[in-house]
């Protein structure tokens, strides 16, 4: 038996024979060409073919893994036409290099550039640019063999790394799980594995060797454990866990359409966190009751310049319409700190988490705010839209936000544009200041949504981006839990509702406490809706309330 520890990126246990994936690669031939025009035309033809193939992959991905997965290949199509990328290839070809070598060199250069970036997301794009370059170079060289077609029986695929397009081409009936030597958890290959529901472990290094081909391996995509030729007892234990997971998944599926209600009849709303309209399909598939947090800044981060009012309106309208009358709460721009868009030209700050970010930017750049609010109010005519403001610390900020909304409403009225005048305006409780004045804020806000990711960071003075703070960043800290109670009670005192939209909302260890406190809504990632429903339906709040609240008050905390 050989046990290897990797990083689990897509949960589930899979068992099957090892199959080594070897790419049918030919090193790009490298020579100088005389007719550079003809060579450039050869590149353009290969680029067009690649874009067409990527379109076909997008359709396959849409059918098998949904809109998000399709978007990945549509993004690849755009990357294949990216001006900087294409210009670099043209320069090499015009300099006399053959097209396949020019594509290979440019792909390597861009990939190295992405790999050296600090941002995890950008680093993960290194694999994407290599994927595209490999496709174009392959077309130029006439390499069309699909190494994956060799798989005949279901296997655990082992590879150095897998590109997103290789992952989507895998025949799911023959793929039990996969393991890669390299890879990143936020890379698209890992994301695709999760959307396709394939157990996957990455980063095992070179522990599995070609002599292991055909031998049985068990992988646990949650713990990252990879066990080759497991002992009888370990094998039995892992298979038992697998059977339990499958049964639990089926149980959760059976909960679709059920209510989020406790054993003693207390209802709680379970909504979803999304990054854009494309995520609505996941909300629906997982039976989310609404959208509790639409992180609107992602639309800005995806652009190279300020999105127009019409572009924003289209995105909001599409999400609101798709939810067919169910609530969609859109948070206004939360740019700054770890979310930077160059065109905002924000000054470099010593402490960006405490700098000009979120609502502070909106209130200092009224035109940017106005454009977003106009788009939001226009979209409000298409369903039930709510707006909330991030990083509020003072009552005057909320008043200014409200005034900005009123001005926009007046403008739209004068223009004869239809909107919903009853859009609820909420405050995100993310700072200790907002907690301490939550009684005052509750008088003027329509609801509260507690952003526990930032609230933990600011309550405990722990940078949420810092990877070595470990147990110091503790969202279970009594300061955070007591803050949630104080905020919820203040909301209720003034007849308002309070929800949680930070990651903590999905923590089923705390669901009973949140119910005991009286939290009205939990907004979580779509895949957590059903596990949360399962937890809620097993709780008797009446029975547990006193004990849980006493525990929160006690010295033991």
Q: Which is nearer to Mg ion, 111 or 449 (CB)?
A: 449
Compute the distance between CA of residue 339 and CA of residue 348 in angstroms, rounded to an integer. 13
Query: What stretch of H or E contains 497?
Result: strand 497-500
Choices 158-166, 251-259, 435-443, 449-457; region in contact with ligand PEP by CB under 6 A:
449-457
The string of DSSP letters for 76-143 reads HHHHHT-HHHHHHHHHHHHTTB-HHHHHHHHHHHHHHHHHT-SSHHHHHHHHHHHHHHHHHHHHHHT-
Alpha helices by DSSP H, 286-365: 297-301, 309-322, 359-364
430 contributes a contact to ligand PEP by CB under 6 A: yes
452 contributes a contact to ligand PEP by CB under 6 A: yes
**Smallest distance, ligand PEP to C-beta of residue 407, A:** 26
Which among Mg ion, ligand PEP, none contacts residue 282 (Cβ within 5 to 8 A by kind)?
Answer: none
Binds ligand PEP (CB under 6 A): choice among 102, 323, 434, 501: 501
Compute the distance between CA of residue 307 and CA of residue 356 in angstroms, rounded to an integer. 20
Binds Mg ion (CB under 5 A): choice among 451, 475, 505, 526: 451
53 contributes a contact to ligand PEP by CB under 6 A: no
499 contributes a contact to Mg ion by CB under 5 A: no
Q: φ, ψ for residue 349 (rounded to 5)?
A: -120, 150
Check 31, 76, 188, 405 and give the catalytic one.
188
Compute the distance between CA of residue 143 and CA of residue 547 in angstroms, rounded to an integer. 67
307 contributes a contact to ligand PEP by CB under 6 A: no
Choices 275-283, 300-308, 437-445, 447-455; region in contact with Mg ion by CB under 5 A:
447-455
Q: Which is nearer to ligand PEP, 80 or 506 (CB)?
A: 506
Compute the distance between CA of residue 143 and CA of residue 522 in angstroms, rounded to an integer. 51
Alpha helices by DSSP H, 342-394: 359-364, 366-379
362 is catalytic: no
383 contributes a contact to Mg ion by CB under 5 A: no
Q: Cβ atoms within 10 A of the Cβ of 410, count?
A: 10
Choices 122-130, 225-233, 392-400, 443-451; region in contact with Mg ion by CB under 5 A:
443-451
460 contributes a contact to ligand PEP by CB under 6 A: no
- Nearest residue to Mg ion by CB is 454
Binds ligand PEP (CB under 6 A): choice among 502, 511, 520, 541: 502
426 contributes a contact to ligand PEP by CB under 6 A: no
Beta-bridge mates of residue 500: 450, 522
Choices 62-70, 194-202, 373-381, 450-458; region in contact with ligand PEP by CB under 6 A:
450-458
Sort strands 13-20 and 216-220 into parallel, antiparallel or unpaired: antiparallel
Asked if 212 and 18 count as a contact pair (C-beta separation under 8 A), the reply is yes
Which among 334, 325, 303, 329 is positioned nearest to 316, based on CA atoms? 329
Asked if 221 and 228 count as a contact pair (C-beta separation under 8 A), the reply is no
Compute the distance between CA of residue 195 and CA of residue 69 in angstroms, rounded to an integer. 8
Q: Which is nearer to Mg ion, 221 or 451 (CB)?
A: 451
3-class SS of residue 271:
strand
Sort strands 291-295 and 269-274 into parallel, antiparallel or unpaired: parallel
**Smallest distance, ligand PEP to C-beta of residue 453, A:** 3
Choices 76-84, 407-415, 435-443, 445-453; region in contact with Mg ion by CB under 5 A:
445-453
Instruction: Tell me the two tokens of residue 166.
Output: 């290789």
297 contributes a contact to Mg ion by CB under 5 A: no
Binds ligand PEP (CB under 6 A): choice among 307, 336, 451, 475: 451
Binds Mg ion (CB under 5 A): choice among 39, 53, 68, 454: 454
405 is catalytic: no
Catalytic residue list? 188, 501
Q: Which residues bind Mg ion (CB under 5 A)?
A: 430, 451, 454
Q: Which residues bind ligand PEP (CB under 6 A)?
A: 293, 295, 334, 430, 451-454, 501-502
């Amino acid at each position: 038996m050989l046990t290897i520890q990797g990083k689990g990126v897509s949960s589930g246990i899979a068992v099957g024979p090892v199959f080594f994936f070897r790419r049918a690669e030919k090193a790009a031939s490298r020579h100088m060409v005389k007719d550079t025009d003809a060579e450039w035309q050869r590149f353009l033809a290969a680029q067009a073919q690649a874009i067409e193939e990527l379109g076909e992959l997008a359709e396959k991905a849409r059918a098998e893994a949904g809109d998000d997965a399709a978007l990945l290949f549509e993004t690849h199509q755009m990357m294949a036409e990216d001006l900087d990328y294409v210009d670099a290839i043209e320069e090499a070809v015009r300099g006399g290099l053959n097209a396949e070598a020019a594509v290979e060199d440019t792909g390597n250069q861009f990939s190295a550039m992405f790999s050296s970036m600090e941002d995890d997301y950008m680093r993960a794009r290194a694999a994407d640019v290599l994927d595209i370059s490999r496709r174009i170079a392959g077309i130029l060289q006439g390499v069309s063999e699909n190494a994956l077609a060799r798989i005949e029986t279901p296997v655990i695929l082992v590879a150095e790394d897998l590109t997103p397009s290789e992952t989507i081409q895998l025949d799911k009936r023959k793929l039990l799980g996969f393991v890669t030597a390299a890879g990143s958890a936020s890379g698209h290959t890992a994301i695709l594995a999760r959307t396709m529901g394939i157990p996957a472990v990455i980063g095992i290094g070179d522990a599995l060797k070609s002599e292991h081909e055909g031998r049985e391996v068990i992988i646990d995509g949650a713990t990252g454990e990879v066990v080759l030729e497991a002992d009888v007892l370990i094998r039995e234990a892992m298979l038992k866990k697998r059977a339990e997971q499958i049964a639990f998944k089926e149980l959760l599926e059976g909960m679709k359409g059920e209510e989020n209600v406790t054993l003693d009849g207390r209802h709680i709303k379970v909504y979803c966190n999304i990054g854009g309209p494309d995520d609505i399909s996941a909300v629906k598939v997982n039976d989310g009751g609404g959208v509790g947090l639409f992180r609107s800044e992602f639309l800005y981060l995806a652009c190279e310049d300020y999105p127009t009012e019409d572009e924003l309106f289209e995105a909001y309208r599409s999400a609101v319409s798709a939810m067919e009358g169910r609530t969609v709460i859109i948070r206004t721009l939360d740019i700054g700190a770890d979310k930077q868009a160059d065109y905002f030209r924000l000054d470099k700050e010593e402490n960006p988490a405490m700098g000009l970010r979120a609502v502070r930017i909106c209130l200092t750049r009224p035109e940017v705010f106005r454009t977003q609010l106009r788009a939001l109010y226009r979209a409000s005519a298409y369903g039930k839209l709510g707006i909330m403001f991030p990083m509020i610390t003072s009552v005057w900020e909320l008043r200014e936000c409200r005034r900005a909304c009123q001005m926009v409403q007046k403008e739209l009225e004068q223009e004869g544009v239809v909107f919903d005048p009853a859009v609820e305006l909420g405050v995100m409780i993310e700072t200790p200041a907002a907690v301490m004045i939550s009684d005052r804020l509750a008088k003027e806000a329509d609801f509260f949504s507690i952003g526990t990711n930032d609230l933990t960071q600011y309550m405990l003075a722990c940078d949420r981006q810092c990877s070595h703070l470990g147990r110091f960043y503790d969202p279970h800290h009594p300061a955070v839990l007591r803050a949630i109670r104080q905020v919820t009670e203040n909301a209720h005192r003034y007849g308002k509702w309070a929800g949680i939209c930070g990651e903590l909302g999905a923590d089923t260890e705390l669901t009973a406490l949140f119910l005991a406190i009286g939290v009205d809504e939990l907004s979580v990632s779509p895949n957590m809706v059903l596990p949360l429903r399962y937890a809620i339906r097993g709780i008797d709040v009446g029975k547990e309330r006193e004990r849980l609240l006493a525990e929160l008050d006690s010295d033991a905390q």
